[in-house]
Structure 1
């Protein structure tokens, strides 16, 4: 009885699925590339080396990308790293960015954590910077999202991502400070302050994703240069709350988070 080894079986599966359904052709090059590159696959704990990118170039790519905010952020940075001089560029090219699509509109439209934040978490969990994990930049990105007036609307940024300022002012209006990482609150605040509805968020959210990408890549570059990145620390309010509300606390409600407290909780 003739048997197939793993590589032969994979080749046959690819051939059969290609003939059976044209739509499968999108996924098959990834499988073929993975096999051809010595069976490399993404596993828990995998870290790929970050290489310096141009923030505006990647922000522009994010702005031009469709399929929701989480996909915009994750796909634009991963694709840029795949085309970079990273020693892991070929591995970045094999990361299936389509898995980030679920994060649109606060996770499949549920309005929970913003896809920009979700994408940042997925990204930094995959990156190493000078051999060290990049996880600390998630908190930095969260604090930026909470405290900055977004999306960015300087003439330089709007021009850099290929947008039009007149159209931006008409469809986006005035940037707003979310004071939260929750999608529904962020968009509802923006809609309220600009006299718009949730359904009109298209350009605003695309520019927001481009803004997050610009800041995140800027911080990644700083970290790669050996700088300690603390551009967006926790607020004084959060720091004050954390003096009592700790993960180990028994006399006060036990809390483990760096998110803005006073968005939902009153003071005492």
Structure 2
């Protein structure tokens, strides 16, 4: 009789069949290992949630197309505050805190996945605040594959700093202790997303040196009636984004 490679017990042949396939590990050990893996992942997800500082701010409800306008309006109001605290570099130390419920029903067709929607949301935010948000990690729901949580950090945050190779002459990005972080939970079946943005300091924006080529400019002019999201999809499809 075969011996299980995990528990090292001798068992009948039937004990090594799992999902219509014979394994060297018995079915009981396979199921116990899967259960342990699920518990570890759930515990890790719970720790991430516990470590996040709760944002005690009002929840706004908007559509995805209104998100850019909401973010830019909030930043404009902060910057034009009569008495904003000034940082060492002379920039206003305004703290942006936003909690937003996004209605996605008018933007998704059913063929998208959470990663597509997350990219759209980030692009709308970057269009409004002119910062770059760097992808950190994601957690997919164990019950629903179309429900996921995404985490981003400000590309100029100290926590996003990368080590440069010794002797590298690459230009260093200006860094700030801005605690810039963003998280979003995307629920595709419910056609909604929950978004939280925190930016402790509205520091100098990253320097942008890229230019729009003639082919891209022409395509934009021919599709002015499209929304920014649909326009980006067209440019990506034609590989000129």
Report the TM-score when normalising by structure 1: 0.27
The structure with more radius of gyration:
2
Is the strand fraction higher in 1 or 2? Answer: 2
Structure with the bigger RCO (C-alpha within 8 Å, sep 6+) is: 1
Report the TM-score when normalising by structure 2: 0.29
Is the helix fraction higher in 1 or 2? Answer: 1
